[in-house]
Structure 1
Amino acid sequence: MARRDGGGAPTCLLVLLSLLVFAAGAFALYRVMLAPAPDTDRVVEESALSPKSFSEYDWDELTQVAQMISEAPSDEEGEAVAAEWGVSIGDTRPLPLSDGRQATLTVVGIRCDELADGSGQAGLTLMTSPISLQPMNGSASNSGGWEGSQIRSWLASDGAELLPEGLASQVVPVVKSTNNVGVTSEVTSVTETVDELWLFSLSEVCGTVDLFAREYGDQVRARTYYIDYTVYDALLSAEGEQYPLFVREGVTCLSDQSGSLALEYGGAPTAWWYRSSYPYTFTGDDAYYFYQAMDTGYPSALGQADAASGVVVGLCL
């Protein structure tokens, strides 16, 4: 029988291919073993979130909804996300405070406030009913405006402690524009602060301010010593746009027909502060007023800085 040479080469090739297949399988198994385990807690958490009414969400769930609204590509799509998840302008829920009292939390805006880190808009802007009675300052002065006020410091400490921990820990800092001088006619006195808890401005509640024009006219006249009082309206109007809730309710500087600004503390009607300083002084020694809503709900009145009034808090998620 003739001898067949060359059979060793195919055998070696088969052995080599087998080794390569084995190595590939071993490497794949190694990668699988090293891969991180799935975050089962996160999967369970995300799958557990389902649309509810605003008042039914816990604070973590509401924060997730607010983040989805914030991450929407546009304001219109953000509003659609809010509607999909059962959140609308004007929705309310009870807000238990750490001192045993109960306030109310209301949705006043969707994607209205600029996040302090510049990443976009906060998903939800919320407003409490009065959580305390406090003065704006320890003395009768509006010098330094909102930025230098005692109540701003109080909100960052004792005021924050009144809120439920689950809510306070989720609040995001936003940018607020305010006259931070006090008595001034310069619109450049409106500067930005970064705040987690804040008071609403006159313009954020009442819209475009025309109080000085209504009282003194919009023309420079001899009887007003040739003072252009409309610059004060421009100053006050630069402190933020009116929130959608107050637009819907038809609130102006002179009218709150729906009664949405008539608020109570401890079962009694109370006036409540805006962060807006009264920017004009008649005598030079009366620079001690901030604007506030009256206990009747009338939108624009003045309160002396060292007198206690209701603290209505704005915050964002």
Structure 2
Amino acid sequence: MSRRDGGGALTALALVLSVLLVVAGGVALYLVMTSSAPGAGGQVTAEPALERKSFHEYDWDELAEVARIVAGEDSVDGAVAVAAEWGIEIGDVRPLPLADGRKATLTVIGIAHDERSDGSGRAGLTLLAAPIAVRPMNGEDTVEGGWEGSDLRAWLSGEALSLLPDELARSVVPVRKATNNVGVSDDPASVTVTSETLWPFSVREVCGDVTVFADEYGDKIRGRTDYIDYGAYDDLLNLEGEQYAYFAESGVTCFSDPDGVLSLDYGGAPTGWWYRTPYPYAFIGEEGSYFYQVMEGGYPVTLGYAGQGSGVTVGLCL
């Protein structure tokens, strides 16, 4: 009788172990199929797959993910094609709510255009946020130190980022920007590279080939100066990056904006807006006082005193 009782106990134990193995196998299979793990309270959850949408339909985290996918391409043409597969093209636009209660606009102006500051390749998307504020370039009328030394750069590098939605701000990628960071100069060495998170555009990035000095002064001596080769200043301006696809496709030059893409409003009223490009020339006996601007009516290139307020239209990359 004792041997029969022992055999029954072993059989029962074997049955229990078999049941446990079956249950464990079922749980493991379920977890593999759902590609997830138990969450709080024992609930099993799965991350939703990224779905194709229009530019204005993505939330900020989704848009940043699309930008990372685009940035994974080896060529600009490949990046443009992948962006289109995800519903994003040059010229797409959406509202941009700001923390001060206003709404700016956000426009796709470049795809795989800007180099990341960390050297990891190109950012997927370059966006234009227009305008986010009205501010002077400097506290006084000076171009000394160029863009790098400007008060506007200090503001954009600090508190300005808090104007953006938090989810967007945390995804912004710093990129490399070339600018005349001296001020009054015709020396190509004056153009140096800074790392920027939010930044105004250069004249070159918006207007393409810059010929403003050659067109205005030619090669003749002008009354108050003995300098002849004004083309050297154009050469300097042309070192500040490359024109974005959005402006190129819109036909923007230093003298023309046929589609009116440079005409922007702030608070419901037309506003001019800053370039980060300092005016590199000063007549003998004068000091540099100007940065380039887009005129209030949208004309591509004019000058503004650095100490006077103007629209702050910025680029940012994802």
Q: TM-score range by the shorter chain?
A: 0.7 to 0.9
Whole-angstrom distance in 2 between the partners of 1:222 and 1:49: 61
What's 2:276 paired with?
Answer: 275
Amino acid at match of 1:144: G
What's 2:187 paired with?
Answer: 186
What's 1:63 paired with?
Answer: 64
Whole-angstrom distance in 2 between the partners of 1:196 and 1:306: 23
| Partner SS for 1:130 | strand
What's 2:246 paired with?
Answer: 245
Judged with a 3 Å threshold, the aligned counterparts in structure 2 of structure 1 residues 39 and 200 are, in CA distance, closer, same or farther, namely farther
The answer to whether the 8 A contact 2:138-2:151 is kept is yes
> 1:48 Cα shift?
2.4
Q: Percent identity?
A: 57
Whole-angstrom distance in 2 between the partners of 1:174 and 1:55: 24
Q: How many residues align?
A: 282
Whole-angstrom distance in 2 between the partners of 1:314 and 1:67: 17
What's 1:91 paired with?
Answer: 92
Whole-angstrom distance in 2 between the partners of 1:212 and 1:170: 39
Gaps of 5+ in 1: 1-28
Structure showing greater Rg: 1
**1:42-191 alignment, distance < 5 Å:** 44-45=46-47, 47-191=48-192
Amino acid at match of 2:217: Y
What's 2:3 paired with?
Answer: none
The TM-score, its normalising length taken from structure 2, stands at 0.85
What's 1:228 paired with?
Answer: 229
Amino acid at match of 1:154: W
> 1:38 Cα shift?
5.4
> 1:158 Cα shift?
2.1
Structure 1 residues 280-289 or 241-250, which shifts more? 280-289
> 1:227 Cα shift?
2.1
> 1:180 Cα shift?
0.2
> 1:188 Cα shift?
1.0
Runs of at least 4 residues off by over 4 Å: 36-41, 220-224
Gaps of 5+ in 2: 1-24, 40-44
| Partner SS for 2:178 | strand
| Partner SS for 2:158 | helix
Amino acid at match of 1:273: W
> 1:244 Cα shift?
0.2
Q: What value does the CA root-mean-square deviation take over the aligned residues?
A: 2.1
The answer to whether the 8 A contact 2:137-2:152 is kept is yes
Deviation string 1:94-133 (CA, Å, 9 cap, x unpaired) is 0000000000000000000001111110000000111110
What's 1:19 paired with?
Answer: none
| Partner SS for 1:312 | strand
Whole-angstrom distance in 2 between the partners of 1:239 and 1:164: 29
What's 1:23 paired with?
Answer: none
Whole-angstrom distance in 2 between the partners of 1:44 and 1:216: 66
Whole-angstrom distance in 1 between the partners of 2:159 and 2:220: 46
